[in-house]
Amino acid sequence: MSNIQDALFMERKGELEKAKIIYEELLDKNPKNRQAYQRLKDILKRTEELSKATLLIEDWIKSHPNDLQAHIELGEILYLNNDRLNADKVWEKFENNYGKNQSTYRMLLHTYSRLSLTQKMKKLVYRGRRKLNKKDLLSLDLSNYYYSRQTYDLSLDELLIYIKSNPAHEKLVMDKILLISDDPENHLLIEKKLVSNLEENNFKIHKLLAGFYFKTEKYNDAFNMHLSMGLQNNSDFQRWLNLAENLRKESQYRLSIDSYQKLLDIKSTLNKSIIGDALLGLGKTYEAQLLENNYQNRLVNFYPDNIFFINQVYEFRKDSLKYIESTFNLYQRILKELPASTFSSRAHYRLGELQLNVMHDFEGARNSYFSAFKSRPNNDLRNNIILKIGDTYLAEGNLKNAKNHNEQYYQQDRSIKYINSFTMKKIHLTFLSGDIDTTKILIDSLIANTSPSDKYFNDLMELQGIISQHFFYGNKHDKEAFLFYVKAEKYLQEFKFIEAAEMLSFVREKYPNTSIIPTAMLRECLLRMVIDDASISLNIAKLLQKTSLAPEGVTAQGEIYEKAYNDTEKAMEMYNLLLEEYPMSMLAEPVRIRIRKLNTIDKS
């Protein structure tokens, strides 16, 4: 006699009749052979022999009366065979017999869903909620069903039913609401649903509405919704800290500052941890406001995220002084109000950052970093502090002291398992000193013994490529030009932006045919964008259009027209040119997003 493997083989060959015969024989021999039953039932459904499938399932139920799935499938087969009356009887009997169990209703619901029996689903759920006294029974399942059919109002109704009984699942519901909000046409519907379900002294829906307002960039409404929820307990305090931080990330500095201030207005009721987080967050917001410049979120960057190249060159507005004073005074306040606390190291560190990057007070910054180092920082902050102390020497133009400082920690933290930040700093300082041969030796050694998954691997590969292309494989003039280019990079580390631009200009004019020229031109173009040399920057961008970095040149022109000259029409012309001539460029997708944003602004 044939076995189950023979039947499966026949199925794979497409000989379903022979497979059916084998399965029937197996069931005759053993009526409890579940695999034979399942396979035969599936074949009968596939070949639309629904009457035979009905008889098969009925026979199976006789010997397996507690197989709930079989009861459900019997009703489904009858329904598909247009025997709606008997299908309803089977389902009704099933619900009456097993309706004390939630899984019964879920099984029926999913069956009705497959058959698109929407009204049956609704009535089933309402009956189940009454019988089981469970208001949120299958609310998520029903919501998903309505969502899949774009019946968003009913989907939202079920989500709101669910959250009222399951407040701990706020994130789940919020994510589903935000999915619905992806279509702007649904925004008014969502807002009306949430507003109509607000409850006094119960803030589950308030939180959802605040999150929706934030997602749709109605930041003032989000702030006011948080206000309506009050500031009474630790949960509220953490909520306000999160709000303030998220507002800062969205560059909503005024609202972020107001949020932190709301917390600090009641500091007598706060523990020191909350006060410290609020003060530090407020300081970071002041810093962000201070360091904001016209070229935030640039489309074109110079080796973005590469540790060896500075990309942040700040330009300050005329009213920057008040922000500098506010930020500086705030960190002093933290150190005064929270002495010898866990926040001391972070406050000293932020002070050092302000003094180094904004005030260019290198000695003052170094003192702040040393104070941070003495305040028992955690390991990550400790390493950052050590690196920053070295950066103050570098900013002063004292490469020797910077190297000596880094060397002691480089020797302590050497590891064969991964590349540490002190090793990267050693390479960087060697590069800036103009010792290109040693730099390449260090890089080659590291790359040979490091996994590509290491976080610094790509940075090393990029610098290795630059050195090889423009120095080792270059001629005499290529090497000379490259060393002058390295001097410009050193000037940037010393915050000598004008000198860096002039050095890059010198390279461009004296060595026009060397391999480093496109790279040096891009560096100069981006640098001059933020030191108010827009006309020179634009001219360089036009020249870049004739080099291997043509996509960057075209896009940079668009950014200059957009940001420096406020000429949206001309900017759009350049952005569209990029998409037409260089559709495969890495810049294409960011440029498309920028075009959509500009179109949205124009329409509003």
Residue 101 and residue 126 in contact, taking contact as beta carbons nearer than 8 Å = no
The answer to whether position 368 is within a domain reads no
Structure-token match 């302000």, residue found: 354
The answer to whether residue 215 sits within a structural domain is yes
User: What mean pLDDT is predicted for residues 124-153?
Assistant: 96
Residue 19 lies in a domain: no
Domain hosting 221: range is: 147-229
Q: Report pLDDT digits (tens) over 313-339.
A: 665 555 566 667 777 777 777 777 766
Q: Which residues of 410-435 are buried (b: 16+ CB within 10 A; e: fewer)?
A: beeeeeeeebbbbbbbbbbbbbbbee
Structural domain count of the chain:
1
Mean pLDDT score across all residues of the chain: 90
Which of 44-48, 237-241, 431-435 is the least confident region? Answer: 44-48
**DSSP assignment letter at 494:** T
In a domain? residue 159: yes
DSSP 216: T
Cα distance between residue 380 and residue 31, in whole Å: 67
Q: What is the mean pLDDT of residues 556-583?
A: 96
Find the Cα–Cα–Cα–Cα dihedral 276, 328, 527, 253, rounded to 10°. 50
State yes or no: pLDDT of 546 exceeds 90.
yes
Global pTM value: 0.69
208 within a domain of the structure (yes/no): yes
Q: How many CB atoms lie within 10 A of CB 553?
A: 24
Q: Kindly state whether residue 184 falls inside one of the protein's structural domains.
A: yes
The DSSP letter of residue 199 is: B
Examine residue 225 and state whether it is found in any structural domain, yes or no: yes
Kindly state whether residue 202 falls inside one of the protein's structural domains.
yes
Report residue 122 as tokens. Answer: 């609704």
Element (H, E) at 293: none
Q: Which of 99-103, 272-276, 312-316 is the least confident region? A: 312-316
Q: How far apart are CA 412 and CA 393, in angstroms?
A: 20
The tokens describing 266, both together, are 């009641």
Alpha-carbon span 533 to 538, nearest angstrom: 9
